[in-house]
C-alpha cells in the first residue's frame, strides 16, 4: 500500500525545520510520494532544492491567490512561465480565487488566475486550483480561459457538489483533505462520496487542516493516511483499494512526476 500526499507545504518553516523526521514519519505511514506546492515565486528555489534532494518529492510553481495582494505585486506572465517551465516542476499553482481572505476590488486576483491558466496551457502542465467562497467566478474563469485544455485538480475541496461536478465536467480531479473528517463537513462528505474513483485524490495541505484524530495539531504528510482511511469507509471500499486508486490517479494527472518501479 502506497499513498500520495497530493498537496503539502513541507518547505514552510513549521515542517522544514525537522524535514527528515517529517519524511520518515510519512514513510512509516505508507506515504510514498509528496507534492510540495508553491505559494510564491520567491521561495520556489527552496522547493526545487527539496525536490532534488528527495526523489519522491515533486515541485510545483505558482502564486497563491492571497499572496502579496494587488496588481502591482502580481507576477508577470513571463515570470510565471519561466518558473513553470523548469523541468523539475510538474504542475502550475497553486492558483485560483479566495474571497474568504480577500475583499474589495479583486480584479487583480482574477487576472492572476487567468495568467496561471494561460501558462499551464502553454507549458503543458496541469493546474492546482484553490477556490474558497468564490465557486461561481472560479468555474466561469476556468471555462473562459480553457482550463480544460490543461487539466488539473481542485485542491482541498470545500465547495458544493454542483461546483465539483462543473470541474469534473472540464476533466479536473478533486482532492479531499482532512476537512472531510470534521464534524460540520457534510457538504464535503457529499462530494467525497460522489467523485468518480478515477478522479479522486487525497492530501493534507500540511501544515494546516490536520484530520481527526490529529485535529488541533500541526498537520504533516503522514496524516494523509487518516484521511484516506476515513474516505475508504465513507465510500464503502477497503483502504488498500482507495490507496491504489488515488495513487494511480496522481501519476495519471501529473505525468512528469516519476514513479519508482
Q: Which three cell numbers stand for residue 1?
A: 500500500
- Closest C-alpha among 193, 183, 201, 203 to residue 247: 201
Confidence of residue 255 (pLDDT cuts 50, 70, 90): very high
Confidence of residue 105 (pLDDT cuts 50, 70, 90): confident
Dist CA 205 CA 224 (whole Å): 9
Instruction: Look at residue 162 in the predicted model and tell me its pLDDT.
Output: 98
Domain count, the chain: 1
**261 within a domain of the structure (yes/no):** no
pLDDT in tens, 25-38: 999 999 999 999 99
pTM of the full structure: 0.96
pLDDT in tens, 147-180: 999 999 999 999 999 999 999 999 999 999 999 9
**260 within a domain of the structure (yes/no):** no
Dist CA 83 CA 163 (whole Å): 29
Q: Which three cell numbers stand for residue 17?
A: 525545520
Residue 163: strand, helix, or coil: helix
Instruction: Look at residue 70 in the predicted model and tell me its pLDDT.
Output: 58
Paired residues of 96 in beta bridges: 130
Dist CA 120 CA 117 (whole Å): 5
pLDDT in tens, 173-187: 999 999 999 999 999
**259 within a domain of the structure (yes/no):** no
Confidence of residue 261 (pLDDT cuts 50, 70, 90): low
The mean per-residue pLDDT over the stretch 206-211 comes to 98
- Cβ-in-10-Å burial (0-12, 13-18, 19+) of 28 comes to exposed
Instruction: Look at residue 106 in the predicted model and tell me its pLDDT.
Output: 87
**244 within a domain of the structure (yes/no):** yes
Q: Could you list the residue range(s) of the whole structural domain that residue 209 is in? A: 3-253
Confidence of residue 67 (pLDDT cuts 50, 70, 90): confident
- Cβ-in-10-Å burial (0-12, 13-18, 19+) of 183 comes to exposed
- The CATH number for 64's domain is 3.20.20.140
Amino acid at each position: 500500500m502506497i499513498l500520495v500526499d497530493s498537496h503539502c507545504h513541507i518547505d514552510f518553516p513549521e515542517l522544514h525545520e525537522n524535514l527528515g523526521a517529517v519524511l520518515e514519519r510519512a514513510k512509516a505511514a505508507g506515504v510514498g510520494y509528496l507534492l510540495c506546492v508553491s505559494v510564491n515565486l520567491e521561495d520556489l528555489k527552496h522547493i526545487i532544492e527539496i525536490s532534488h534532494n528527495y526523489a519522491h518529492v515533486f515541485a510545483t510553481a505558482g502564486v497563491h491567490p492571497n499572496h502579496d495582494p494587488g496588481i502591482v505585486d502580481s507576477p508577470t506572465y513571463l515570470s510565471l512561465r519561466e518558473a513553470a517551465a523548469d523541468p523539475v516542476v510538474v504542475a502550475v499553482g497553486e492558483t485560483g480565487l479566495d474571497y474568504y481572505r480577500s475583499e474589495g476590488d479583486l480584479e487583480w486576483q482574477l487576472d492572476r488566475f487567468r495568467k496561471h491558466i494561460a501558462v499551464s496551457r502553454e507549458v503543458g502542465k496541469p493546474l492546482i486550483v484553490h477556490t474558497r467562497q468564490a465557486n461561481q467566478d472560479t468555474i466561469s474563469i476556468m471555462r473562459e480561459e480553457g482550463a480544460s485544455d490543461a487539466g488539473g485538480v481542485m485542491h482541498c475541496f470545500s465547495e458544493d457538489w454542483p461546483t465539483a461536478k462543473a470541474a469534473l465536467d472540464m476533466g479536473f480531479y478533486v482532492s479531499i483533505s482532512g476537512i472531510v473528517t470534521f464534524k460540520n463537513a457534510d457538504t464535503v462528505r457529499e462530494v467525497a462520496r460522489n467523485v468518480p474513483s478515477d478522479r479522486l485524490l487525497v492530501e493534507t495541505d500540511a501544515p494546516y487542516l490536520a484530520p481527526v484524530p490529529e485535529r488541533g495539531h500541526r498537520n504533516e504528510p503522514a496524516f494523509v493516511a487518516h484521511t484516506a482511511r476515513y474516505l475508504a469507509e465513507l465510500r464503502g471500499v477497503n483502504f488498500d483499494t482507495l490507496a491504489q486508486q488515488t495513487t494511480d490517479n496522481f501519476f495519471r494527472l501529473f505525468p512528469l512526476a516519476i514513479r519508482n518501479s
